[in-house]
Amino acid sequence: MATPRVLILRAPGANCDLETQFAFELAGARAERIHINQLRASPALLHDFQILVVPGGFTYGDDVAAGKILGIQLRHFLNDALRKFRDDEKLILGICNGFQALLKAGLIVPPDEEGPVATLAHNTSGKFEDRWCHLQAQPGHCPFLKGYTHLYLPVAHGEGRLMTRQSWILHGLRQTGQIVLRYVGPKGEPVDYPGNPAGSQDDIAGLCDITGRVLGLMPHPERHVLPTHHPRWTREGLAAEGDGLLLFRNAVKFFAET
């Protein structure tokens, strides 16, 4: 097919939309930034795109909770349009604040009759965490992560602690293969804080929905697409590319293969 088009959803306080646009264009896509109010006024805009991205930032100042106001907007005003977008075998990506919004909108792990089954809570450290982390990928059927085993990405968040309401819910996420990214040590070993900067259950850094086509992750792949983004490139030498670039190339390639 033709070059896939990416809709990068802007909202007040989002501040990673330009970096995300750059990453997708570097990967070969055509990316356009569109404000949430514009999409609410005309949900049919989604028909023209193959990939939807909710980027990082601090939408609406995270005044109620991180990503919650945007998540409410997605759920109440765009619920049907977003589910049709996913069911049409298109891709949805949420990065950091975007992950928080998608999770609160019920697009990754749907709520049950008692309410949300998972959330992203305040870091156990009680502070904003800004550091680079090692990650282990278990892509399963998530096209964004195809070809990954380990990657190194930065995090920057105050509410990234993945928590489930009951232990059986966490067990279910493991069984369905929805836990696709975990914080690990440099050699892939289990870690505590600060290797798991948020204190997430099961060291979870990213989840996909049951289809694999909706991915949410707390680390920022758009901040490591160039080899010079690596914090130690002057000491360790330049890699061919940043660890995050493959994620965006995978999304582009998904439509070349379908």
Q: 191-246, pLDDT tens digit by residue?
A: 999 999 999 999 999 999 999 999 999 999 999 999 999 999 999 999 999 999 99
**Residues 6+ away with beta carbon under 8 Å from 209:** 86, 107, 108, 109, 178
**With contact defined as beta carbons under 8 Å apart, do 240 and 203 qualify?**
no
Catalytic residue chosen out of the listed positions 19, 129, 159, 222: 222
The full set of domains in the chain, from first to last, is 5-112+128-256 (3.40.50.880)
Q: Are 85 and 5 in contact (CB under 8 A)?
A: no
* 41 has a pLDDT exceeding 80: yes
Residue % of the chain over a pLDDT of 70: 99
Active site annotation includes 32: no
pLDDT band at 258 (very low <50, low <70, confident <90, very high): low
168-186, pLDDT tens digit by residue?
999 999 999 999 999 999 9
Compute and round to an integer the Cα radius of gyration of the chain.
Answer: 17
Among residues 160, 216, 166, 222, which one has the least CA distance to residue 193? 160
pTM summary value: 0.97
Query: Is pLDDT above 80 for 2?
Result: no
Q: How does the average pLDDT of the chain come out, rounded?
A: 96
Active site residue 241: no
Taking residues 37-57, what's their average pLDDT?
97
What gap in Å lies between CA 214 and CA 149, rounded to an integer? Answer: 19
Spot the catalytic one: 16, 19, 96, 142: 96
Please pick, among 129, 157, 159, 220, the residue that the annotation labels catalytic: 220
Distance CA(244)–CA(145), nearest Å, equals 10
What does the pLDDT average to over 75-97? 97
87-96, 110-119, 184-193, 207-216: least confidently modelled range: 110-119
Beta strands in the chain (DSSP E): 5-10, 30-35, 51-54, 91-95, 118-121, 129-137, 150-157, 161-164, 179-184, 204-208, 214-217
Q: Which two tokens stand for residue 21?
A: 């646009």
If you search the block for the tokens 């792949």, which residue do you land on? Answer: 221
Q: How far apart are CA 144 and CA 249, in angstroms?
A: 8
Please compute the mean of the pLDDT values over residues 119-144 and round it to a whole number. Answer: 97
**pLDDT recorded at residue 1:** 58
Binned at pLDDT 50, 70 and 90, residue 58 comes out as: very high
The backbone torsions φ and ψ at residue 124, rounded to the nearest 5 degrees and listed phi first, read: -65, -25
Q: For residue 185, what pLDDT is reported?
A: 97
- Model confidence at 64, pLDDT cuts 50, 70, 90, reads confident
**108 falls in which pLDDT band (50, 70, 90)?**
very high
Examine the residue annotation and report whether 208 is marked as an active-site residue of this protein. Answer: no
